[in-house]
Structures are given as C-alpha cells and as structure tokens.
Amino acid sequence: MRYIVVDLEATCWANVRDRDRMEIIEIGAVELLSASEPYCREFAQFVRPVAEPTLSDFCQQLTTIRQTQIDRAKSFVDVFPAFLNWIGSDPFALCSWGAYDQSQFRVDCERHQLPWPESFDTHINLKKEFAKVYQIKPKGMKEVMAHVGLQLIGTHHRGIDDARNISQLANLVLPVLESTNHNYLSTESS
C-alpha cells in the first residue's frame, strides 16, 4: 500500500478553535511507497487564505510562517489541484496525526467549491491507531516521538516538517496495521 502523510497549517487565533473560520495556509506532505520505507517524495506549498488573508501574530508565532510568504502564495483553488497532481493516480491511503487535516481539507474544498476527491475518504488517523497499538492515550506528535525515542526534525508546526516527523511514526505503526489487516476503507471521523 502507498501512503500520503499530510500535515496542514491554517489560520488561527489564540483561544479560538473554529474549523469553519480557519483556512489552510500550508500543505506539507510526504509519500511512503510502503508501510516501512522512509518517505521518497515530498510536497510543500504555502496557500494564501481568502477570507482572512492577514495572519494573526499568534498564528505567525505558532507556525513561524510569515505574512510575506503567504502574500506571495497561490490560493487553495490553485494549490489543491497541484497537490492532487503530485499525489498522482495510483491508489493510496491518506494519513495524518488526528482527524483535523482531513476535515480541514473538507472545509476548504467546500469554501472554494472544489469537488471532494473520493480518494481522500480513505484516511488513517495515525494518532488514534498509534495509541491503540502502543496502548497509550492519544497524544501530540511531539510527545509520542519523545515516548518512542525519535528525534524531532525541523520546526514543529511547519506543515512539511510535521509531515516528515509524522512519517517516522507512520513507519512504526503502519506495518503493524498491515499485519493485522486493518480496514483502510473505513472512513473515520474522530
């Protein structure tokens, strides 16, 4: 099975968690050609939000993404098709740490009236699966990396670095899921 590990960054504000207000500002993703192989290709693009194009100070501090990087970026209507093109037509399972990324894709597809790719219904919530396999509570990627003795690379809360880091955890858990015939086709919402 081929896996696309994705991590999104989005507009955000201190003490606000409103998925419908948030908009994607970075798509970071890596491709795993098998459950246990390290990633072979990566996709990293900033996205210019349309509803609230000015990043809050909180958001710039959290993500280290600067307003100038966002001002130069293309909007979701351009970047999302480029992302789908990068993924290509071979079957894959979309993976992310938690359910957030898949649902934010859904919000932004609706906002921009882009068709929802059916292939994105096959989603593996690595946070949930990791917790089950390792018999721990679902936790942030950073904590789980420390738990298993993996070194965090790059800048946490940058989509591409998060995706690279999550792929290291994916290499631990996906082989276990494959060996236990995990049902990849089940759609997840939690």
Minimum CB distance to Mg ion smaller for 31 or for 161: 161
Answer with the entry of ligand AMP, Mg ion, none that 73 interacts with (C-beta below 5 to 8 A by kind): none
The site for ligand AMP (CB under 6 A) is made up of 7-10, 12, 22, 62-63, 157, 162
Minimum CB distance to Mg ion smaller for 150 or for 176: 150
Minimum CB distance to Mg ion smaller for 36 or for 61: 61
User: What is the Cβ-side half-sphere exposure of residue 167, based on CA atoms within 13 angstroms?
Assistant: 28
Residue 162 is a binding residue for Mg ion (CB under 5 A): yes
Answer with the entry of ligand AMP, Mg ion, none that 29 interacts with (C-beta below 5 to 8 A by kind): none
- Contact window for Mg ion (CB under 5 A) among 4-12, 17-25, 131-139, 179-187: 4-12
Answer with the entry of Mg ion, ligand AMP, none that 63 interacts with (C-beta below 5 to 8 A by kind): ligand AMP
The answer to whether 4 touches 92, Cβ cutoff 8 Å, is: yes
Q: Quote the distance between the C-alpha of residue 138 and its chain's center.
A: 16
In sequence order, what are the residues at sequence separation of 6 or more whose Cβ sits closer than 8 angstroms to the Cβ of residue 183?
Answer: none
Q: In angstroms, rounded to a whole number, what is the distance separating the alpha carbons of residues 157 and 168?
A: 16
CB of 8 to ligand AMP, least distance (A): 6
Rounded to 5°, the CA angle 39-79-94 comes to 40
The answer to whether 123 touches 188, Cβ cutoff 8 Å, is: yes
Answer with the entry of ligand AMP, Mg ion, none that 10 interacts with (C-beta below 5 to 8 A by kind): ligand AMP
The answer to whether 3 touches 169, Cβ cutoff 8 Å, is: no
3-state helix, strand, coil in the chain (%, to 5): 40, 20, 40
Residue 31 is a binding residue for Mg ion (CB under 5 A): no
CB of 162 to Mg ion, least distance (A): 4
The answer to whether 100 touches 127, Cβ cutoff 8 Å, is: no
Minimum CB distance to Mg ion smaller for 108 or for 162: 162
CB of 61 to ligand AMP, least distance (A): 10
The answer to whether 165 touches 130, Cβ cutoff 8 Å, is: no
CB of 187 to Mg ion, least distance (A): 22
In the complex, the residues that contact Mg ion under the rule CB under 5 A are 7, 162
